[in-house]
Amino acid sequence: MGIVEEAHNLKVLGSGDRVIVLAHGFGTDQSVWKHLVPHLVDDFRVVLYDNMGAGTTNPEYFDFNRYATLEGYAYDLLAILEEIHVDSCIFVGHSVSAMVGAIASISRPDFFSKIIMISGSPRYLNDVDYYGGFEQEDLDQLFEAMGANYKAWCSGFAPLAVGGDLESVAVQEFSRTLFNMRPDIALSVAQTIFQSDMRQILNLVTVPCHILQSVKDLAVPVVVSEYLHQNLGGESIVEVMTSDGHLPQLSSPDIVIPVLLKHIRYDISVA
């Protein structure tokens, strides 16, 4: 196993001519896809990996400078695809990985037949004529709470992010993977994500994008999905799901998995 594969806990499952890559968001790891993977392995080669900084990765490999921008994660993604000789894939990116896939596709559009974005956002901060959902003061308080008592912050943040029942298995699962992150790494990753602004690169993304969004999401207002649709450079389609929360593939699989499978199997028809 190569260093790239080992560092990212790379797994390739299933069989099929087509490749699908599943990339998780902040505070989780590849286990967030556990409800989706069984539906894919008969028809696809399924590539799973962990973003550097996830609790399942070696913290010694986390380069604070490299991962101070989302480009660092995009370079990792391209290295993974090259390492396992993927010529073209369907890329499913959750949360920050939606933007990571978009960035990677700008330099290597040939690697991506389409990108499926779940709960993605190009910018979390509000701006003139843009609603991202957060003011700087909100983010400063979030970062301060993370730095002061990470475990307490995890306990409060997990149910807010997941939504729904406080005692749900999904909340417990997200709490576990969130708490598995080393606190200083988690804070650095959160700062990189929440302070990011990818709006200026959206028009450079030419790969077809399927934008999936929960109707209620603490981190990403529904209007953001429409903003992506209007500003991406290639074909795109939006579907707002009746799910609640930022990790709907984990918390509402009965709603989300059929929608995901539909968008994986069918391309955007260009009239």
The H or E element that residue 161 is part of is: helix 150-162
Domain range summary for the chain, segments of one domain joined by +:
1-263
> pLDDT digits over 52-74, tens only?
999 999 999 999 999 999 999 99
Confidence (pLDDT) at 1: 59
DSSP string, 107-145: H-GGGEEEEEEES--SB-B-BTTB--SB-HHHHHHHHHH
* Entry field: residues in the chain: 271
Does the structure show a pLDDT above 60 at 270?
A: no
Average pLDDT on 205-221 reads: 97
pLDDT tens column, 3-41? 888 899 999 999 889 999 999 999 999 999 999 999 999
Q: How confident is the model at residue 268 (pLDDT cuts 50, 70, 90)?
A: confident
May I ask the CATH architecture of the domain 1-263? 3-Layer(aba) Sandwich (3.40)
pLDDT at 117: 98
* pLDDT tens-place string over residues 119-164: 999 999 999 999 999 999 999 999 999 999 999 999 999 999 998 7
Distance CA 227, CA 222 (A): 9
With CA atoms as reference, report the closest residue to 199 among 52, 22, 70. Answer: 70
What pLDDT score was predicted for residue 167? 81
For residue 219, is pLDDT > 90? yes
Task: Give the mean model confidence (pLDDT) for residues 207-231.
Answer: 97
Pairwise CA distance, residues 91 & 81, whole Å: 11
Average pLDDT, the chain: 95
User: What tokens appear for 256 in the block?
Assistant: 């989300």
The catalytic residues are 95, 217, 246
pLDDT at 165 over 90: no
Cβ contact 14:41 at 8 Å? yes
Please report the pLDDT score of residue 271 as a whole number: 40
Determine the average pLDDT of the residues in 94-99.
Answer: 98
Share of the chain above pLDDT 70, in %: 99
